[in-house]
Structure 1
Amino acid sequence: MPSVAEIIVKTLVKAGVKRIYGIPGDSIDPLMDAIRRNKEIKYVQVRHEEGAAFAASVEAKLTGSVTACMGTSGPGSIHLLNGLYDAKMDHAPVVALTGQVESDMLGHDYFQEVNMVKLFDDVAVYNQIVINPKNAGYLIWRAIHEAKSKSGVSHLNLPVDILRMDGEEYDADLDPPKVSYDYPDIDKAVELIDKSKSPVVMIGGGTKGYSQLISQFSERIGAPVIYALNGKGVLSDFDERVMGGIGLLGTKPSVEALDKTDLLILLGTSFPYVNFLPKGVDVIQVDSNPSNIGKRVRATVEFVGDVSDFLSKILPRVKEKDDKFYVRMKDSKEKWFNELNKKESDMSKPMKPQMVAYELSKVFTEGVVVVDTGNVTMWGARNFRASGNQRFVFSAWLGSMGIGVPGAVGASFVYDKVLALVGDGGFAMTMMELITAKKYSRPIKVVVFNNSKLGMIKFEQEVMGYPEWGVDLYNPDFSKLAEAIGIKGITVEDPKDLPSAIKEMSESEEPFVLNAIVDPNERPMPPKLTFTQAKNYVLSVFREKLEPSEEE
């Protein structure tokens, strides 16, 4: 009979899991051996378990399929948690397998004994320990089923002695049932759209893969399109209907469109910053998750279902508008692009980070762009122009630094072209996964926005009226660090050298690190500030200008 370890691996393979990220350890050695003997699944050895969970999370975000990561008992599995919280909050289906001491040692305060079920209770939609080998087949099936159907993290804790025992397989369908919905209020939605003079479509992560339908819908009703962070890249930023992002990372034309709208159509988004959303207007909301409906704003008409299904049903029924709102927004968008271009074409030193992001977007027009958290999120969201042919990945809801490099490794197993935009702070947290990229010949391209600062924290301190403190970073030479691993590295300080460096990186078939030295004083200004934020920001700039003269 197959062992519990073999049943777990076999069921993962049956579910379509192609690889499992992790680090070996004595409590999962039976699982490692089962992976070794199964030729249909690949083991990817990372250098830190956090990297394993980030890689699995990003792969799941891109494919929508279940991925897997693992850690040994005690400290190894604890390290998984940050990346798993990223998966939880971005609704990525990930199965986490954690080792455990022998079952007869549980409760003995044994070496590396940690109550993993208790620890993982908040992060997981399904969370169990395998205590009976005859139940193992059902539990791994259930873990996969729950991760898929609830788009979240499933966790199984595996005592090492149980992994070695004979188990029983569980034969059941691994695909959750498909749900279809009727839309009894579609006439009301059609009425609201037809009478609207200035409709706005706002898209989020639930619209990925539906660019053609969204394009047809927005054109027909004349609506400008704005996007939450997870909606970036669904349509091209150069599309005349696309006004850009919204929120602290957003654009001025998006703010203006929302200020003028009389109907907001929310498609697959649960955007949290409600202060950026209009008040006193009709709202149509479509989301596959019923709990998202009305969570942020009160919807006039609510639709629980898939965005593509809704658009397919409503498109033939709404009238073609002659006076298109997005056309009236044309001047606003052109002014905004011109405003952005001032920084993007600035040839001064130190280099402007906006210029680095924009120049990269001219070359990397397809594939995956993994954007880390910090000031780099702003440059990636605002200045890296989406072509409509890329997939963008962020730690959108957790906002964790360090996702860039391990996330790029995970993405590289499903996409040929992968670019990571990372700040120097986030890069230093997980840069050891460059070793993973080299070991497995993953041709990821990593661009470090190196300003020797925790730049976003610096800005937040200024806005809150505090002096800059505790944010200076001591950095090694990142290009030489890459070379020590066996990866090509280039440092660029002069903006004149940037295009040739980007060209060399894009043409390389190997992993590559571009260390871009950028201006530490470039502020990631939001498109609009509250009065208090504006006041504090002005005061901070005023103090900054006064202090040198006082010292002199």
Structure 2
Amino acid sequence: MATSVSDFIIDRLIEWGLHQWYGFPGDGIGGFDGAMGRAQRDGKDFNYIRPTHEEEAAFMATAHAKFSGGVGVCISTSGPGAIHMMNGLYDAKGDNTPVVAIVGQQARVSLGTEFQQEINLERMFADAAVFVQTVATPMHAQLVLDKAVRMAKAYRGPAVVVLPADIQTMEMEEPTVEHFVSRSGIGFAEDRLRPDDDALARAAQVLNDGEKVAMLVGQGAIGATDEVLAVADRLGAGVITTLLGKQVVPGDVPYHTQQLGLLGSRPSYDMIQKCDTLLMVGTNYPYGEFMPPTGQARAVQIDLSPRHLGIRYPTESNLWGDAKTTLAALLPHLDQHSTQWQQKIAAQQRDWMKENTRVAETEADPINPRSVYVSLNEKLPDNAIITADAGSTADWYGFHIELGPNQMGNLSGRMASMLAAMPYAIAGKFAHPDRPVVCTIGDGAFQMMGMNGMLTVKRHWKEWETPSFIVLVIDNGDLNQVSWEMREAGDPRWDTAQMVEPMDYAGYAEMLGLKGVRVEETGDIGPAFDEAFAADRPVIIDMKCDRNTPPLPAHIALAQAQGLAESLLSGDPEMGRVVNQSSRAAAARLFARMGLTPDE
């Protein structure tokens, strides 16, 4: 049987080392689907997972790239299937993650004729993708696919190959030696870029002159933990990680103050406000209100993407290179600094974590969600993967989860998309089937598409090396983050929009043949995690939580406080409970700072 264009693309993806694919079938990609079926029957080296929705497939491809360090692959049909993928591909764009999307299209003769399910895919994907190209002829397929993989890797974003239906089943043609025809190959170039010595010396001069150095470290430094810590120790610096860079620095490093901003710590805020020098590594942190005032701090930035250099804060020195190689090359140029500033930061962080624990211990009705994450942080296995959804689950993840050196954590960053925690967790499990995985997700996001994800778990969990897969549903009957954002804007909680329909999440797990655990008392939190981690199958933990526990940031702006007061005085239906819980949290922090217990 002759090799079709689809057969060629399948083999080429495998040659590129891309073996894990997520997709959803349809007639617009039917020829490619048929070729995948033949390839699977022939024992070719790929694993195709079909979730219940193309959006999930795109999120899974993004998460696979994040958790594996490789390139994600997703596949969809034309028209509506392609449209469904957009959110997940924008997630890849926003978080600088390489993904290749193979997208079906109607036959070439129908393009531009408003045929059924025919839309201009190149125009639609243009904003989301670093590369998008329709395969025009069989001979064209090799170059388009090879360039898509290279562009995704080089520019760290989604690249889209549009595959018309008639092209999919045509016999593959090798590129010929003639004008207009390019003949491409496979293989990634080494991306260990290193700035020259003069650039390193200039950056070192800025850093050596500093007395209070703060390091802001993002996901671009994943894999450079040793180098980050070596530079921090040489500079006597405190280290802040972004939410996506949380796993770069272990939580037990005393001068690691975790995150900055709305989901950050007070020591991080204070460090930024008092530093005289800022070293940014592998981050495109966008929240200018939490950065030093202009002119306060001299700044150096290291990034593999030159387009990110110097766009978030005025920098004196920009180092274009990957974090690991650049930090290692920079280290010999750095003077040994005093540890006085670093020790002060470490002491502040110790006090802050004590405060956080005290706040998590405050009474709630029924359960304080902070206490759930404090317990989870203690129970996580050393090699666990954890995902968080958008909303208050991301707050609690940022405030209370301190990742160990062998743990991994991730979420939808720039897009902050609801529902992403579930496909992220599933992709994390396929990337590392021997690791325990914990998905933390709100009840609203679980109802949005997390329920669908559990069907994928049901179908595949017996294929994993270990069945340990836990879905922690924060069941508070509320789209909680939005409720608090409305309050901070001066608007009372609006039940019509904010209420989440009650559901038996543990019962849903049992219906699927999985394990369900329901928790309604604080004392049962720890035992529930013990039971879930010991289970012989995936588990849903239905955690009944208080929706009025405030996810307030470490530093509250006057406008936020005024908005909250206005919302409560404007008829917020939960006013009494909000005031009660907020007062308890404030009192707990005050007692912790004074070294007192509530009884004193």
TM-score band, normalised by the shorter chain?
over 0.9
Question: Which runs of structure 2 are paired with 1:98-109 in the superposition (5 Å)?
Answer: 98-109=103-114
Q: Secondary structure of 1:161's match?
A: helix
Distance (Å, rounded) in 1 between the aligned partners of 2:246 and 2:573 = 40
| Cα distance change, pair 126–520 in 1 and its aligned pair in 2 (3 A) | same
* CA offset digits 1:196-253 (Å, max 9, x no partner): 2211111011111111111121112211111111111211222111112101110001
Superposed CA RMSD in Å reads 1.8
Gaps of 5+ in 2: 175-182, 577-600
Question: Which runs of structure 2 are paired with 1:341-360 in the superposition (5 Å)?
Answer: 341-346=357-362, 348-360=364-376
Amino acid at match of 2:25: P
Aligned: 1:511 with 2:538 = yes
| Cα distance change, pair 509–215 in 1 and its aligned pair in 2 (3 A) | farther
Given candidates 73, 80, 88, the residue that maps to 1:68 is 73
1:463 alignment counterpart:
488
Distance (Å, rounded) in 2 between the aligned partners of 1:106 and 1:546 = 54
Aligned: 1:205 with 2:205 = no
1:484 alignment counterpart:
511
Contact 1:7–1:168 under 8 Å retained in 2: no
Distance (Å, rounded) in 2 between the aligned partners of 1:21 and 1:173 = 22
Amino acid at match of 1:274: G
Contact 1:35–1:42 under 8 Å retained in 2: no
Q: Secondary structure of 2:151's match?
A: helix
1:440 alignment counterpart:
460
Contact 1:241–1:326 under 8 Å retained in 2: yes
| Cα distance change, pair 183–292 in 1 and its aligned pair in 2 (3 A) | farther
Gaps of 5+ in 1: none
Contact 2:519–2:528 under 8 Å retained in 1: yes
Aligned: 1:15 with 2:16 = yes
Alpha-carbon offset, residue 49 of structure 1: 0.8
Distance (Å, rounded) in 2 between the aligned partners of 1:54 and 1:271 = 22
Given candidates 511, 527, 530, the residue that maps to 2:554 is 527
Given candidates 393, 398, 406, the residue that maps to 2:415 is 398
Alpha-carbon offset, residue 310 of structure 1: 1.8
Amino acid at match of 1:351: I
Out of 347-356 and 90-99, give the one that drifted further.
Answer: 347-356
* CA offset digits 1:84-104 (Å, max 9, x no partner): 110111111111111122222
Distance (Å, rounded) in 1 between the aligned partners of 2:268 and 2:93 = 29
Given candidates 322, 327, 343, the residue that maps to 1:327 is 343
Question: Which runs of structure 2 are paired with 1:67-466 in the superposition (5 Å)?
Answer: 67-169=72-174, 171-178=184-191, 179-279=193-293, 280=295, 281-346=297-362, 348-364=364-380, 365-415=382-432, 416-431=435-450, 432-441=452-461, 443=467, 444-466=469-491
* CA offset digits 1:485-515 (Å, max 9, x no partner): 2221111111111111101111124221111
Distance (Å, rounded) in 1 between the aligned partners of 2:536 and 2:223 = 28
Alpha-carbon offset, residue 413 of structure 1: 1.1
Amino acid at match of 2:332: P
Alpha-carbon offset, residue 16 of structure 1: 1.1
Distance (Å, rounded) in 1 between the aligned partners of 2:132 and 2:233 = 45
Contact 1:35–1:41 under 8 Å retained in 2: no
Count of paired positions = 549
Question: Which runs of structure 2 are paired with 1:534-549 in the superposition (5 Å)?
Answer: 534-541=561-568
| Cα distance change, pair 226–544 in 1 and its aligned pair in 2 (3 A) | farther
Contact 2:6–2:169 under 8 Å retained in 1: yes
Distance (Å, rounded) in 2 between the aligned partners of 1:452 and 1:467 = 16
Contact 2:440–2:471 under 8 Å retained in 1: yes
| Cα distance change, pair 116–475 in 1 and its aligned pair in 2 (3 A) | farther
Distance (Å, rounded) in 2 between the aligned partners of 1:124 and 1:546 = 44
| Cα distance change, pair 336–538 in 1 and its aligned pair in 2 (3 A) | farther
Contact 1:141–1:174 under 8 Å retained in 2: no
Q: Secondary structure of 1:86's match?
A: helix
Distance (Å, rounded) in 2 between the aligned partners of 1:52 and 1:476 = 26
Q: Secondary structure of 2:518's match?
A: strand
Distance (Å, rounded) in 1 between the aligned partners of 2:441 and 2:110 = 43
Alpha-carbon offset, residue 542 of structure 1: 5.0
Amino acid at match of 2:476: N
Q: Secondary structure of 2:78's match?
A: coil
Q: Structure 2-normalised TM-score? A: 0.88
Distance (Å, rounded) in 2 between the aligned partners of 1:42 and 1:322 = 52
Distance (Å, rounded) in 2 between the aligned partners of 1:265 and 1:94 = 29
2:591 alignment counterpart:
none
| Cα distance change, pair 545–486 in 1 and its aligned pair in 2 (3 A) | closer
Q: Secondary structure of 2:214's match?
A: strand
Alpha-carbon offset, residue 547 of structure 1: 9.0
2:594 alignment counterpart:
none
Q: Secondary structure of 1:538's match?
A: helix
Alpha-carbon offset, residue 47 of structure 1: 0.6
Q: Secondary structure of 1:482's match?
A: helix
Amino acid at match of 1:454: L
Alpha-carbon offset, residue 287 of structure 1: 0.9
Distance (Å, rounded) in 2 between the aligned partners of 1:193 and 1:127 = 41
1:32 alignment counterpart:
33
Distance (Å, rounded) in 2 between the aligned partners of 1:445 and 1:311 = 37
Amino acid at match of 1:116: L
* CA offset digits 1:3-61 (Å, max 9, x no partner): 11011111111111112111211222221222223221111111111110111100011
Amino acid at match of 1:77: A
| Cα distance change, pair 238–543 in 1 and its aligned pair in 2 (3 A) | farther
Amino acid at match of 2:258: G
Amino acid at match of 1:330: A
Q: Secondary structure of 1:185's match?
A: helix
Out of 234-243 and 318-327, give the one that drifted further.
Answer: 318-327
Q: Structure 1-normalised TM-score? A: 0.96
| Cα distance change, pair 71–193 in 1 and its aligned pair in 2 (3 A) | same
Contact 1:404–1:427 under 8 Å retained in 2: no
Distance (Å, rounded) in 2 between the aligned partners of 1:548 and 1:57 = 40
